[in-house]
Amino acid sequence: MSNIRNIRDKMPDSEKITINLGYVDLGRIDLLVQEGFYSNRSDFIRTAIRNQIGSHVEAVSKSIERHTMELGLRDYSVADLESIKDAGEMLHVKVVGLARIASDVTSDLALATIGSITVLGALQASPEIKKALADRIQ
């Protein structure tokens, strides 16, 4: 039975956003979906966003480098934070994408090791961690 994992325990791999569109644009999207160019509205919107991001790939890369940010998924475990604490250092999280702080990280450990958090994308952490680090999250 230890191999069984509740599906609800899985962390989401995307973030839901809400956008407002005019009726004409929405109708055009629905027409493209109806004609089979896209499987649904979300497929169209994701494709449009990726194409737009792709048209700015050089500017994004330079900005990430200039701000010394990590791109993608970055997990912070208890072991990661304990080694930072043992080294007497403070962590300054800078991520473009998803930053996750493990669920077993305590508020005390986070406060002792995380000096600041800047995430362009999403931060996944327990409510307790987010509350403890509220003044350090930008």
The alpha helices in the chain, defined as continuous H runs, are 23-34, 41-54, 57-66, 78-86, 107-113, 127-132
Give the pLDDT confidence of 125-136 residue by residue, as tens digits: 999 999 999 999
- Domain chopping of the chain, boundaries: 7-55, 59-136
Q: How confident is the model at residue 101 (pLDDT cuts 50, 70, 90)?
A: very high
Nearest to 81 by CA among 105, 117, 100, 116: 105
Judge whether residue 7 has pLDDT over 80.
no
Give the pLDDT confidence of 31-43 residue by residue, as tens digits: 999 999 999 999 9
CA 81 to each of CA 50, 86, 88, 105: distance values in angstroms, whole numbers, following the listed order: 34, 9, 11, 8
The mean per-residue pLDDT over the stretch 63-71 comes to 84
- Compute the distance between CA of residue 52 and CA of residue 82 in angstroms, rounded to an integer: 40
pTM: 0.68
